[in-house]
Structure 1
Amino acid sequence: MSKLSMPIPAILPANSAFQTEFLPNPFTPINPVMAGTEQPDPFHRVFATLLNHTNHTLLQAEQHMTELEAGQDNLIETVMSVQKASQTMNMLIQVRNRIVEGYHETFNQQV
């Protein structure tokens, strides 16, 4: 089975309630004043934007692969989108691992 024929699972389904309610669009600036709610901390905004961007690239790669199977898309564009999705997913995994490592270091400190 070739790498292109394997489906890439998205982190969140397209137009999911979590995605539209909690995660900002990575391509639009974050509104500094949220209507009637408390402003999330900068780490939350950065991580949510990273998660949303990763999900977006995975969904794009999946769409390119579907179009390629139907004979409508260019092979080069499909390979590039799959590589981009792979790299963003690896980056997200590395960020998660660093966060978990920092949590464990903080948790194991003696007071």
Structure 2
Amino acid sequence: MEERHDLIIRGGMVADGEGGALVRVDVAVDGDHISGVGQLDGATARQVVDAPGQVVAPGFIDVHNHANNEVDGGILRIPHADNMLRQGVTTLIGGNCGGSPLPIGKHLDEV
């Protein structure tokens, strides 16, 4: 029986997360989940991306940025925000530097 997926990324280089060398594999995606990793030669998909020599990685989370900086106008005014996407960053966590446009001084004094 033929496997049918939403998306297959063929021949990309994938890290196993254990510190080993990159491995050339296919990655199948169905909906918003990775449904297969390996040699998926018999599988088909609605969309196929040929990725030889390219690194395939999940979206990265940037845990330290200044995207919520009101002085600079936040994420919508940062001229390099689109570069974050090009680098694979799909999620930002802001506000962890302790700055705030809100009056939080009294709260901090109580803590």
TM bucket, shorter chain: under 0.3
Greater fraction of residues in helix: 1
Superposition TM-score, scaled by structure 2 size:
0.24
Greater fraction of residues in strand: 2
Superposition TM-score, scaled by structure 1 size:
0.24
Larger CA Rg, structure 1 vs 2: 2
